[in-house]
Amino acid sequence: MTIEQHTTPLSEHHVGDALMLIAGEWTEAADGWWIDVESPRDRTILGRVPRGGAEDVRRAVDAASRAFPAWRDLRPRDRGELFRRIADALEPEQERIARLLSLENGNAIRTQSRGEMQFVVDAFRYFAGVAGEAKGESIPLNPQVLDYSRREPLGVVGAIVPWNAPLMLSALKIAPALVTGNTLVLKLAEDAPLAVLAVARVCQEFLPAGVLNVITGYGSEAGEALTSHPAVAKLSFTGSTAVGRRVMEKGAERIVPVSLELGGKSPQIVFPDADEDWVVDGTISGMRFFRQGQSCTAGSRLFIHESVFDSFVGKLVDKLSELVVGDPVDEASDLGTIVNARQFDRVGEYIADGIEQPGVDLALGGLPPAEGPLAQGWYHRPTVFANVSNSWRIAAEEIFGPVVCAIPWRDETDVIRMANDTHYGLAGYVWTHDLGAALRTAHALEAGWVQVNQGGGQVLGQSYGGFKQSGIGREFSLEGMLDSYTQRKHVSVHLER
Ligand code: NAD
């Protein structure tokens, strides 16, 4: 589609066409097709990106394969130094890129996008610092034998990211994959490619051609082409469990290692001694309300002890009512928009389903306003369902919206059983002053990451990842980098022959 053919109005912040990166060149799709990127704040067109397909993926993987030997053989610390310089060069661009992110995925700039962009710079510096740490070991066998291991890169990595935190998740693939000597083909989410392309532009000023390739396009086209390509030696995917299963099947066909960071329906457990304001603030943060609940770690099942249930829900409703839902690039907004029409409708369907459950108490929010300024974009308001049963659909399925289900509990054993009664296992939150209860619960939760008395985001250096159907592998840390992006080779040398 050409710009002239648009029926949807262009955004006041329209950025034009942003190109893909293949073999060091900024390029259109081979077949000339484009994807419009809509701004969810007002449903206008923000720009276009190429609709990459199999031919583009083939060119990108070829470029990454050609670039691999020289990049692999560069001194690891020199690779790290390049990422240090990229981080420095990104700093003056941070505000511009954070704003672009808010415009394309609807996250509020003050509460989300600035921090996410800062994370990119921090992640590049972190992995730059550990670039030389891909060390092996030697085994003391006997004086005649030197037996040692090396950690080697895998080759061309194929990585795929979603739209909800595209900058952070792309940085967590680009930096660890590249500093360990792999080359990369990164497929961006069709709904939020622009901010990552802006980061890639800065990276490309420092990296040799073909080391980093960035493809835009749909999952069913570019995504499938990447997971099927025979020269891709490793797949790293962040997104939904349904697509993760598909990526794993494609990896299994060729026995290619796969890392998966998938969905969640994480529990927060509030003990009777935790009916306090700071806990309410913490559960709001743990629910990722400031990202409209569009987070894999959202603590969207809020188990509150029955003795403090009404009081806690009352405080929660009061605090959530004060949050400002509005234009993501307005400094006053605490929450922005849902990313697109499909997700907006999906969240609305879950809310409608919740309202119909017998005995439910819609304590706050509900279906989105049909008129007024919020009706101009894909805005949902914070929604609290109280007296929810853990077996209802709204408590069992990942809504990926600003909807929390408050579920009463009486007995510690029973709340742990309910918390674990899910095929997901990503995160968990425990709120209590009782250290014994906190740690008993933290250890009993089937989740890859449990926070006690805090509801923060991931920190570099944590081996973050999921249990059960929330994923396989860890990527936020040195250990994750070694496990995900290197393979061990053993060398045994007889010294006297
Ligand atoms: P999604 O799975 O629909 O899409 C993610 C990416 O996969 C996109 O780039 C998409 O184009 C691509 N894709 C879709 N179909 C594909 C296919 N057949 N082959 C290859 N690629 C394909 O997920 P989404 O809706 O973009 O993101 C939301 C999901 O991501 C949620 O489930 C959320 O929990 C999860 N998520 C997990 C983490 C984590 O760290 N565990 C982080 C962020 C998001």
- Residue 166 beta carbon below 6 angstroms from any ligand 1 atom: no
pLDDT value at residue 7: 76
**Together in a domain, 233 and 349:** no
Residue 202 CA to residue 213 CA, distance in Å, equals 13
Asked whether residue 73 falls in the same domain as residue 115, the answer is: yes
Do 421 and 407 share a structural domain?
A: yes
Within 61-161, strands assigned E span 138-142, 145-153, 156-160
- Judge if 57 and 23 occupy the same domain: yes
User: Is the same domain home to 443 and 485?
Assistant: no
Q: Print pLDDT tens along the chain (497 aa).
A: 444 455 789 999 999 999 999 999 999 999 999 999 999 999 999 999 999 999 999 999 999 999 999 999 999 999 999 999 999 999 999 999 999 999 999 999 999 999 999 999 999 999 999 999 999 999 999 999 999 999 999 999 999 999 999 999 999 999 999 999 999 999 999 999 999 999 999 999 999 999 999 999 999 999 999 999 999 999 999 999 999 999 999 999 999 999 999 999 999 999 999 999 999 999 999 999 999 999 999 999 999 999 999 999 999 999 999 999 999 999 999 999 999 999 999 999 999 999 999 999 999 999 999 999 999 999 999 999 999 999 999 999 999 999 999 999 999 999 999 999 999 999 999 999 999 999 999 999 999 999 999 999 999 999 999 999 999 999 899 999 999 999 999 999 999 99
Same domain, 345 and 425: yes
* One domain for residues 294 and 236: no
The verdict on residue 443 lying in a domain is yes
Shared domain check, 280 and 170: no
* Ligand 1 contact via 47 beta carbon (within 6 Å): no
CA-proximal residue: ligand 1, atom 22 (nearest): 219
Residue 79 counted as domain residue: yes
Measuring from atom 26 of ligand 1, which residue has the nearest CA?
Answer: 162
Position in ligand 1 atom list of the atom nearest CA 187: 9
Closest residue (by CA) to atom 40 of ligand 1? Answer: 261
Of all atoms in ligand 1, which is nearest to the CA of residue 218? 11
HSE-CB at 119 with a 13 A cutoff on CA atoms is 21
Helices of type H across 363-410? 393-396
SS (H, E, C) 286-350: HCCHHHCCCCCCCCCEEEEECCCHHHHHHHHHHHHHCCCECCCCCCCCCECCCCCHHHHHHHHHH
Residue 462 in tokens = 């944590």
Instruction: Give CA angle at 452 (451, 455), nearest 5°.
Output: 55
Handedness of CA 371, 377, 378, 383 (dihedral sign): negative
Residue 241 domain flag: yes
Q: Is the distance from the beta carbon of residue 227 to the nearest atom of ligand 1 less than 6 Å?
A: yes
Q: The domain spanning residue 148 has which CATH number? A: 3.40.605.10
Distance CA 101, CA 114 (A): 9
Active site positions, annotated: 261
Give the residue among 155, 307, 296 at the shortest CA–CA distance from 239.
296
Paired tokens of 367? 């279906």
Mutate to test the pocket of ligand 1, among 238, 424, 459 (most ligand atoms within 8 A of CB): 238
In a domain, 497, yes or no: no
Quick one: which H or E segment has residue 250? helix 241-254
**Nearest C-alpha to atom 3 of ligand 1 is from which residue?**
240
**pLDDT score at 475:** 86
Burial of 353 (0-12, 13-18, 19+ CB in 10 A): middle
Q: Which atom of ligand 1 has the smallest separation from the CA of 296?
A: 34
CA 135–ligand 1 middle distance (angstroms): 32
Closest C-alpha among 248, 162, 292, 303 to residue 469: 248
CA–chain centroid gap for 253, Å, is 26
Instruction: Kindly provide the residue ranges of all beta strands, DSSP E only, lying in 239-300, ordered along the sequence.
Output: 258-261, 267-270
Instruction: Write b or e for each residue in 195-224: b if 16 or more Cβ atoms lie within 10 A of its Cβ, otherwise e.
Output: bbbbbbbbbbebbeebbbbbbbbebebbbb
Amino acid making up residue 471: G
Query: In which residue are the tokens 């860890």 written?
Result: 474
Give backbone dihedrals phi and psi of 461, rounded to 5 degrees, phi first: 105, -20
- Between the CA of 224 and the centroid of ligand 1 the distance, in Å, is 13
Task: For ligand 1, atom 10, name the residue with the nearest CA.
Answer: 219
Which ligand 1 atom is the nearest neighbour of the CA of 227? 20
Judge if 91 and 240 occupy the same domain: yes
DSSP, residue by residue, 17-68: E--EEETTEEE--TT--EEEEEETTTTEEEEEEE---HHHHHHHHHHHHHHH
Residues 99 and 81 reside in one and the same domain: yes
Distance, CA 8 to ligand 1 centroid (Å)? 26
Does residue 464 lie in a domain region? no
CA angle 388, 393, 399 (to 5 degrees): 95
Number of domains into which the chain is organized: 2
Shared domain for 247 and 341, answered yes or no, is no
Domain containing residue 225 = 3-262+470-490
Q: 496 in a domain, yes or no?
A: no
In a domain, 318, yes or no: yes
Do 188 and 312 reside in the same domain of the chain?
A: no
CATH (domain of 409): 3.40.309.10
Distance 238 CA to ligand 1 centre (A): 6
